[in-house]
Amino acid sequence: MIPVRGYEGKRVAVLGLGRSGLAAAKALEAGGAEALCWDDGAEARERAEGQGLILHDLTRRDAFDDLAALIASPGIPHLYPETNRHIARAYEAGVPVDNDIGLFFRSFATPDWDEFETTPKVVAITGSNGKSTTSALIYHILSEAGRPTQLAGNIGRGVLDLDPAHDSEVVVLELSSYQTDLARALTPDIAVFTNLSPDHLDRHAGIGGYFAAKRRLFAEGGPDRAVIGVDEPEGLFLAGQLSEGPGDDRVIRVSVDRKLAGPGWHVFARKGFLSEYRKGRQVASIDLRPMKGLPGSHNHQNACAAFAACRALGLAPRQIEAALASFAGLPHRSQLVGEKGGVTFVNDSKATNVDSAAAALQAFERIRWIAGGLGKDGGIAALAPHLGHVAKAYLIGHSAREFALQLGDTPHEICETMERAVASAASEAEPGETVLLAPAAASFDQYADFEARGDDFTRLVRALTA
């Protein structure tokens, strides 16, 4: 646990008692604060009370008297589409509002660090797609290289559940826009921006607000190094804002669209080869094509970002290459779950929108595509340019018939259930083909979450391939 610093002897309210809220309350108490907890859900309040935490009814008239701060869980809206009523009262009372990410950055460094030979560092990763894989890749590379490391944030553990830092340790944080938008302190040593595509637009009042939330990671604390994906206009803009000139190697530009040129520090992938250039000269190259845990250009972008971050930490290219080759992939993200008779089965249940599904559809040559669920606005119409590799689609869930109408000439079958889709795709697949779950839809019509959907696919595949 990271004891929260700066609130000794003060009363701090915690709103939202899920994983991050409970961890924040305990970390505040460990740092000497009085944590006063509230959740509008009775079950969450009972769980917190059962863990010995103090409840504090924020609906009371005097609830915000003498509070030093209100710590809100990331899922609670603090501005758009409508400010949560408790947060609105905090604003009116002049009570500062923060989240667990802000508490972490104000508390992680301690006087003990003066005794360390090598100062611990924090690498923080944000973006629309690929941030989980990039975070896991960086953590994996560091672990394989023997560097002490911990993984937390939007993946793995809550940030305040981390252990206090060791000498030379690197903490890797995946941060969502919900987390970066509210945090009052954001001071990573290395910050990574993967890419940007429309998501969570209601929460941020449009794409501009969404980008602004992610930009805070770079603008608020001024990281020593920034790794920026420049394949979208927002990334180019961000790199330009942070750089003092073409040769400024504090900004490492990353691309999978084109070769990057100039005197600066660049990492890019073309035709499956990762290249690193510094001062106009190539200094490293890695063949990503044989790496089964990193299929497709979207994963090559993740590999470039992870490579750049680890190079900024001082790792050698050959160390990074060996770790990339041993990376098995994250569950539900282009995860290889089985092979039989020359047919490969891949679980990309996390592909819940058309952008991530498009990346998955471009990663394999010939695909038996399982798609569907609770469709989002526009369905899968935007995927029309990416259906060339699809031999046949097998449609499940609430939006199966809607998706069928948007497939044009692509052969398809309405299966409704995962069991029927897997059985049909497996029976028709030929050697060299990939049975790919990339739903392009939410899971809530049939499953509790995308993990449960991916687990069901994996279970069915392993029963077939055993």
Q: Is 353 annotated as a binding residue?
A: no
Q: Is 4 contained in some domain?
A: no
The answer to whether 345 and 337 have CB atoms below 8 angstroms apart is yes
Whether 283 and 427 map to the same domain: the answer is no
- 3-state helix vs strand vs coil in the chain, percent to 5: 35, 20, 40
First-to-last alpha carbon distance for the chain, in angstroms, is 42
pLDDT at 429 over 80: yes
Whether 27 and 126 map to the same domain: the answer is no
Q: Mean pLDDT lowest for which of 74-83, 192-201, 308-317? A: 192-201
Token representation of residue 461: 């595949």
pLDDT confidence tier of residue 125, bands split at 50, 70 and 90: very high
pLDDT confidence tier of residue 200, bands split at 50, 70 and 90: confident
Whether 36 and 94 map to the same domain: the answer is yes
Pairing of strands 170-174, 149-153: parallel
- For residue 265, the cross-strand partners are 252, 278
Cβ atoms < 10 Å from Cβ of 89: 17
We report the CATH number of the domain holding residue 39 as 3.40.50.720
Sequence letter at residue 417: T
Q: DSSP of 43-69, one letter per residue?
A: HHHHHHHHTTPEE--TTSTTTTTT-SE
Q: Is 359 contained in some domain?
A: yes
Q: Is 5 contained in some domain?
A: no
Q: Is 103 contained in some domain?
A: no
Whether 81 and 146 map to the same domain: the answer is no
* Cβ neighbourhood burial of 115 (10 Å; 0-12, 13-18, 19+): exposed
Q: How many domains does the chain have?
A: 3
Residue at which a domain ends, from 267, 294, 326: 326
Q: Is 1 contained in some domain?
A: no
Whether 168 and 201 map to the same domain: the answer is yes
Q: Is 302 annotated as a binding residue?
A: no
Residues with Cβ within 8 Å of residue 314, at least 6 apart in sequence: none
Mean pLDDT (whole number) for 176-184 = 96
Which contiguous run of DSSP H or E holds residue 396?
Answer: strand 390-396
Residues with Cβ within 8 Å of residue 195, at least 6 apart in sequence: 127, 128, 129, 130, 229, 231, 232, 235, 301
Mean pLDDT (whole number) for 427-450 = 96
Place of tokens 């259930």: 417
The answer to whether 59 and 66 have CB atoms below 8 angstroms apart is no
Whether 275 and 129 map to the same domain: the answer is yes
Token representation of residue 346: 């891949």
- Characterize 2-22 residue by residue with b for buried, 16 or more Cβ atoms within 10 angstroms of its Cβ, and e for exposed: bbbbebeeebbbbbbbbebbb
The answer to whether 276 and 315 have CB atoms below 8 angstroms apart is no
- List helix spans (H) across 243-295: none
The answer to whether 134 and 125 have CB atoms below 8 angstroms apart is yes
Whether 304 and 353 map to the same domain: the answer is no
- The per-residue pLDDT of the chain, averaged, comes to 96
Token representation of residue 219: 């603008």
pLDDT confidence tier of residue 328, bands split at 50, 70 and 90: confident
Give the separation between CA 231 and CA 140, rounded to whole angstroms: 25
Place of tokens 């959907």: 453
Q: Is 348 contained in some domain?
A: yes
Q: Is 127 annotated as a binding residue?
A: yes
Residue at which a domain ends, from 71, 98, 125: 98
Give the separation between CA 126 and CA 194, rounded to whole angstroms: 6
> Residue 449's domain spans which residues?
335-465
Pairing of strands 11-15, 34-38: parallel
Whether 208 and 357 map to the same domain: the answer is no
The answer to whether 367 and 351 have CB atoms below 8 angstroms apart is no
pLDDT digits (tens, 9 = 90+) for 365-423: 999 999 999 998 899 999 999 999 999 999 999 999 999 999 999 999 999 999 999 99
SS3 of residue 251 by DSSP: strand
Q: Is 77 contained in some domain?
A: yes
SS3 of residue 161 by DSSP: helix
Whether 276 and 381 map to the same domain: the answer is no
Q: Is 131 annotated as a binding residue?
A: yes
Token representation of residue 353: 């929108």
The pLDDT of residue 156 is 77
Q: Is 334 annotated as a binding residue?
A: no
The answer to whether 434 and 346 have CB atoms below 8 angstroms apart is yes
The answer to whether 348 and 317 have CB atoms below 8 angstroms apart is no
- List helix spans (H) across 158-268: 177-182, 201-204, 207-219, 233-242
Q: How far is CA 465 from the centre of its chain?
A: 31
pLDDT digits (tens, 9 = 90+) for 63-103: 999 999 999 999 999 999 999 999 999 999 999 999 999 99
Whether 182 and 90 map to the same domain: the answer is no
DSSP secondary structure letter of residue 102? H
Mean pLDDT (whole number) for 282-287 = 97
We report the CATH number of the domain holding residue 390 as 3.90.190.20
Q: Is 133 annotated as a binding residue?
A: yes
We report the CATH number of the domain holding residue 187 as 3.40.1190.10
Q: Is 2 contained in some domain?
A: no
Whether 46 and 114 map to the same domain: the answer is no
pLDDT at 172 over 80: yes
Residue at which a domain ends, from 289, 308, 326: 326
pLDDT confidence tier of residue 4, bands split at 50, 70 and 90: very high
The pLDDT of residue 68 is 98
DSSP secondary structure letter of residue 189? S
Q: How far is CA 274 from the centre of its chain?
A: 22
Region label for 154, one of left (φ > 0), alpha (ψ between -120 and 50) or beta (otherwise): alpha
Whether 313 and 276 map to the same domain: the answer is yes
Q: Mean pLDDT lowest for which of 54-58, 146-150, 154-158, 278-282? A: 154-158
The answer to whether 401 and 372 have CB atoms below 8 angstroms apart is no
